[in-house]
Structure 1
Amino acid sequence: MDQQLFKLETENGIKTCKVLFTFDTDDHSYCIYSIVDEEGNESDEISAVRYELDENLEMTNFQELETEEEWDMVEEVYNTLIDTFSEDKTFTAVDEEGNEVECKIVHQFAIEDFGKSYVIYSIENEDENSGLYAASYVSSEDGAIQEIFPIESEEEWKKVEQTFELLNQSNR
């Protein structure tokens, strides 16, 4: 598949951008992209814009995101995309009886208010109806989940539940 590139006028001039992902909401179409330099090297920096399609179904009329809520929504979609396509989607935990259990990662996210990372997960080889679990976690140097911890307060649970609800809405 050919990579899709587009030109974007910025305050620093016209930039070549590589489309990483596009998605639509009820109100707008969004493009998550990276900058490509003159030699064709892709930047590690990721950003997003709103866009419209012209009569040839080409992206046009690029607009900056306007609100913090809009940036948060785009970031959540991006993180869900990364979670969906990341290769290592499991981790090992120890249950109450001291047994190692394989856990499947459903979603990972951070809540800045608490300065912690969280994971929503299910237990592998457990009955499908057993449900989902949530915990805070510490990651290893390579970014894998190293250790999980119980969620400590009602306030934390409310924030985790809000993220879980957003995840459910985006999967509908």
Structure 2
Amino acid sequence: MEEQIFVLQTEEGQEQQCRVVFTFDSDDHSYVLFSLVGDEDAGVSALRFELDDNGEMAGFADLETDEEWAMVEEVMNTLISEFGADQTNFFTITNDQDEEVMCQILHRFERNNKDYLFYAIVEDEVPNLDEVFASAYISGENGEVADLLQIETDEEWAMVEEVLASLAQQ
């Protein structure tokens, strides 16, 4: 999972990198919740955006009405209540339709100095355990999933399947 960054122009004309926390759509607009790179203590803010011809976020605009702010705050509060206490056990991926999909980590383990995890896609706020995925991963400084890595060899897959089988027996 690659971290999403976009750049805004400050009032002083400087470029400010912003880290995407979450994106979502309403009936009328698309929104991005973001933090400022280098000033994460500033908290999370929100903007409207459009997608350019390359599918990148562009055309940023401030939220204009109290109703719009209330809707964004409701989304932020929902995210915090559902995932805030345990952010390290959730991450997002982009599916084949370029949609962000929430995933829940089911189990983490380490073998041969490499970190692995089993995860499931969250559907209707519940992980879909009918399809469990495995991946190697790079951990961020707070224990979150910073990047997913492919499991590369048949030996590595055999080891992962062995761990999964041992978990199924517990």
- TM-score interval w.r.t. the shorter chain? 0.3 to 0.5
> Which structure ranks higher in relative contact order (CA pairs < 8 Å, sequence separation ≥ 6)?
2
TM (norm. structure 1) is 0.46
Q: Which has the larger radius of gyration?
A: 1
